[in-house]
A and B are shown apart, each in its own frame.
Chain A
Amino acid sequence: MTIKPYVTSFVLQWKIGLRYRLAVLAGLVAQMWFGAISLMAYAAVYHHAPGVDAPMTLRQAMTYTWIQQSLFTLLPLGCLPAIGEAAKSGAIVYDLLRPVDLWNWWLSASLARLLGNAIPRAVLLAAVAGPLAALVGLNGWSLAPPASLWAAILALCSFILGAFISASIVMWWNIVTARTLSPLGTYAVGTPLAVLLSGMLLPLPLYPDWARELLLFQPFAGISDIPIRLYMGMAIPGGVLTALGIQCFWLAALTLVGRFWMHRTISRMEVQGA
């Protein structure tokens, strides 16, 4: 087996992502806007309840929000659009006609699309919310640098795992799309689920005590919440190894169960016709 087709597929999807430069800018403006509103809300809450012992400082909440906003397009909001189109038009049969491992084939395309969308936005937003905000005197509102060099290295590993977890969840949406022959269901379910459970809407560390630990042990936490905590050097129950362990566990579980499910789906398509 050769890895070449998957790499080529990745590179091509990546190029397609970069082709939509206007979408990157529009997304950036929207994310800055939502980020700024969240920041002002946090500032208001923190300043009017100085006595409360919050699990995150205001500075941490701001950094958390900036990174979440910059990684919005890394979330598994629905299936890969190309697979949705192919399911509707019937061209999905061609995917069965390729001498490739279908899981790796779709995974490389899904990962490339997530990263192709997320990385340009993340770099631009980090530049605007980090050094540029500090330069114009908005130091208190800006994106803080990583807690330490060690934290930066851990966070980088964790972000990479997070991207793979997200792509694996997209794979589950892809399988649902192949079964139902419509991409709409995955977006209807996937978008709210991902936005809520990833900590995009409200940082996971700010949930009530009873929910906080539970939320750490679901797959969406592994996409951006865990990497951000590592970046900021926040304490995680069980320590760094637990954090990375949760991510590895979910990546393995999503892959193994997903592959099995995909195999079943293909068998069913072979019996009933696509």
Chain B
Amino acid sequence: MKNAAAIEVHDLRKTYQVRDGGSWRGKTREITALDGISFTVPAGEIAGFIGPNGAGKSTAIKILAGILRPTSGTVRVGNLIPWENRLAHVARIGVVFGQRTQLWWDLSVGEGLALLRDIYSVEPARFLRNRERLADALDLHGIMDQSVRQLSLGQRMRAEIAAALIHDPDVIILDEPTIGLDAPSKLAVRAFVRDLRRERGTTVLLTTHDMHDIEALADRVIVIGHGRILADSPFEALQATTLSERILEADFTGPLPDLLLPEGATETARGSRSVTITFDPQRLPAPVLVAHLSTLPGLGDLRIGRPAIEEIITRFYADHAS
């Protein structure tokens, strides 16, 4: 582990002044985006930051990136206060906003990386080494000479990640890095982030709507909602509790028989020839449930999955409603 930096956030608050009606005649009112959040990400850890739209994730990310001033509270990223030492801070971080592009439309990927080399004063030898490594890992060799406006979304996203990492940042902030990516690109991005942390001990803060990103990467999961932290626990702990639930969908060739579900399973939806069952594999292992359903007449097909992240968050809200 080297060069790593920790993130410390204490009692962070941010309120925005909003003018109703969008004109100078409207009344101003305050919107609280962050209502006192505190957390620490030790150096070299990957923390997942999840929550619905409008929960305050983006505000927190912008404050950590140094481009937004909080109303109160303290933040230290590797012992620098982001908004007070902005230039020194941004030189050490890499940021990917999945919905926005940081590469230059008119330039090729290679030219853009060369420009970033000069912006971040990366030594030539290190630049060439990083460029080669990133191109290998993110499959960029074929598109180095293509201009960014010609890239597909997946290619552009991989190039964006390379652009955020060319200067060996100590901390990387990934805001929806896999949004809109195809499956191979998602896998490439995840594998790359994992390797980066292992090799360089980079601290990573990741926001996503894709639970698979969290599962593949995060050591820690911080759930945020209504500007507050609802849960902050190791991934395994979250998995054992909230994420443990499974959903089974069964299709029948004829009319639905009487299910007589065992303990630990509940029927949550029913169609004319299909049924959805929610179960807890801790109490009722999936093979037992499947074996039980197989005895029923007319069973056609079975699918087992996990609830969508939105459902998990909704449940958090219900549990933490104040």
Q: Which residues on A are within 8 Å of B, measured CB to CB?
A: 2, 4-5, 7-9, 12, 16, 19, 82, 85, 89-91, 93-94, 96-100, 269-274
| Cβ A12 vs Cβ B100 within 8 A | no
- The interface residues of chain B lying within 8 Å CB-to-CB of A99 are 87-88, 90-91, 119-120
| Given contacts A91-B100, A100-B119, A274 and B106 within 8 Å (CB-CB) | no
Complex Cα spacing A85 to B102, Å? 12
Question: 0/1 per residue, B1-21, Cβ < 8 Å to A?
Answer: 000000000000000110000
**Contact residues of B: prevailing secondary structure:** mixed
| Cβ B106 vs Cβ A4 within 8 A | no
| Cβ B118 vs Cβ A269 within 8 A | no
B69 interface hit (Cβ, 8 Å): yes
Contact among B68, B90, B107 with A12 in the assembled complex (CB-CB below 8 Å): B107
Report the count of interface residues on B (CB-CB < 8 A): 33
Which residue of chain B has the shortest Cβ distance to A4 in the bound complex?
A: B118
Shortest distance between the CB of B109 and any CB in chain A (Å): 13
| Cβ B105 vs Cβ A85 within 8 A | yes
| Cβ A8 vs Cβ B106 within 8 A | no
Which residue of chain B has the shortest Cβ distance to A6 in the bound complex?
A: B118
Shortest distance between the CB of B116 and any CB in chain A (Å): 9
| Cβ B118 vs Cβ A8 within 8 A | yes
| Cβ A8 vs Cβ B65 within 8 A | no
- The interface residues of chain B lying within 8 Å CB-to-CB of A2 are 121
Which residue of chain B has the shortest Cβ distance to A7 in the bound complex?
A: B118
Other than A93-B67, A271-B69, A273-B62, give 11 A-B pairs with Cβ distance below 8 A. Answer: A4-B121, A5-B118, A12-B107, A16-B106, A90-B99, A91-B101, A94-B100, A96-B90, A99-B88, A100-B119, A274-B67
Shortest distance between the CB of B107 and any CB in chain A (Å): 6
Q: Which residues on B are within 8 Å of A, measured CB to CB?
A: 16-17, 59, 62, 65-69, 83, 86-88, 90-91, 93, 95, 97, 99-102, 104-107, 111, 114-115, 118-121
| Given contacts A8-B115, A97-B90, A89 and B100 within 8 Å (CB-CB) | yes
Complex Cα spacing A271 to B105, Å? 29
Shortest distance between the CB of A49 and any CB in chain B (Å): 50
| Cβ B100 vs Cβ A82 within 8 A | no
| Cβ A93 vs Cβ B90 within 8 A | no
| Cβ A272 vs Cβ B16 within 8 A | yes
Shortest distance between the CB of B100 and any CB in chain A (Å): 5
- The interface residues of chain B lying within 8 Å CB-to-CB of A5 are 115, 118-119
Complex Cα spacing A19 to B86, Å? 35
Complex Cα spacing A9 to B107, Å? 11
Could you write out 22 A-B pairs with CB less than 8 Å apart?
Answer: A4-B118, A5-B115, A7-B118, A8-B114, A12-B104, A12-B115, A19-B106, A85-B105, A89-B101, A90-B97, A90-B99, A93-B97, A94-B95, A94-B102, A97-B102, A98-B119, A99-B88, A99-B91, A100-B87, A271-B69, A272-B16, A273-B59
| Cβ B95 vs Cβ A97 within 8 A | yes
- The interface residues of chain A lying within 8 Å CB-to-CB of B121 are 2, 4
- The interface residues of chain B lying within 8 Å CB-to-CB of A97 are 65-67, 90, 93, 95, 102
Which residue of chain A has the shortest Cβ distance to B167 in the bound complex?
A: A99
Complex Cα spacing A96 to B87, Å? 9
- The interface residues of chain A lying within 8 Å CB-to-CB of B111 are 12
